Amino acid sequence: MALSSSQYETILRGYEKKRDDNHYLLEARRKKVYDTIPEYQALEESVGTQAAAAARSMLSGDETALPLLKEKLSRQKAARLELLKAHGFPADYLEPVYDCPDCQDTGYITTPDGTKAKCHCFRRQELEILYAQSNIQEMIERENFSTLSYEYYQGEDLKHFEAAVGLCRKFVQNFKQDYHNLFFYGTVGTGKSFLSGCIARELLQAGCSVIYFSASGLFDTLAYYSFDIKAKESLQAFYEDLYGCDLLIIDDLGTEVTNSFVTSQLFSCLNERALGRKSVIISTNLSLEELRDRYSDRIFSRITTGFSLCKLTGPDIRIYKKRQSSKN
């Protein structure tokens, strides 16, 4: 799940290109202003001269030099802004240009405790690369609200599916305001993974970070990193993604080989995300009774009390679609 060195370097080179492009853009804007307003250039160039003169005065013991310099520079800044406006330029036309003002196109921000951390724009690029390595992009092209159909459901099955769709739409609508988890369960092929894909697509398009894993894929990856002594750094990065993304989707819970490692990792994941108020969607073919018997009481309690339970019923839609396509 963690980026390779080459992928990391690719992202950093992208930031370097952004900074270069924006530097050239700013210089082109400055030239345009200088060509249009010669007096603006004269005012700007005089700043250095005045600062040097003030520095000499301060070295000579003139305590008024700094306040006077600040006053002059303030007046000159106001005069430059008036010149820009008078010639039809926006007031911020010569301000530094950034694709991401938060990190100023470096990819890193300084946290309140003074440490460096990856900016949200860096994290998003990481996740985009990771999406490309999974099948989430392909999945959401097929499985989204625009391809949703009720034609495969009847009676009580239809009522269950309509209720689930309503719950999903509400989940998306309130996602950035409300902390919520969903648990889809029921028989095979009733639309559980489909609805997860619908939500994933909507939130990705809204700029949220979404990580999708099949249960077997998730625990296989955790086992690989956990038991490889050389992969400690990769494991830490993987946990950061797993615990920190806006939405984690675990599909087909119960298809993995369940053991004490899996049970422990699943509880840790659910617990850490609950503490951080980060949403989780789980889908499974297990009944609630099977869920209780297969996993620990802590996991069963966490899911049944911390998730909205959504049961889907009906025939296997995948089989139905195959039969229809074979007839055609």
* Alpha helix segments (H runs only) across 174-259: 192-205, 215-226, 232-244
Query: Which pLDDT belongs to residue 321?
Result: 66
Query: Which pLDDT belongs to residue 326?
Result: 62
Class of CATH domain 134-327: alpha beta
Query: Which pLDDT belongs to residue 261?
Result: 94
Query: Which pLDDT belongs to residue 308?
Result: 96
Query: Which pLDDT belongs to residue 317?
Result: 76
Domain locations in the chain as residue ranges: 5-110, 134-327
Query: Which pLDDT belongs to residue 51?
Result: 82
Tokens of 228: 């490889």
Query: Which pLDDT belongs to residue 48?
Result: 82
Query: Which pLDDT belongs to residue 325?
Result: 61
Question: 202, 129 in Cβ contact below 8 A?
Answer: no
The CA-based angle 60-64-66, given to 5 degrees, is: 85
Q: Global pTM?
A: 0.65
Question: Which residues touch 3 (CB under 8 Å, ≥6 apart)?
Answer: 11, 126, 129, 130, 237
Average pLDDT, 10 consecutive residues per value, the chain (328 residues): 72 95 95 94 86 84 86 89 93 93 95 90 80 68 84 90 95 94 94 92 83 90 78 72 88 94 95 95 95 94 96 81 62
Tokens of 116: 């460096």
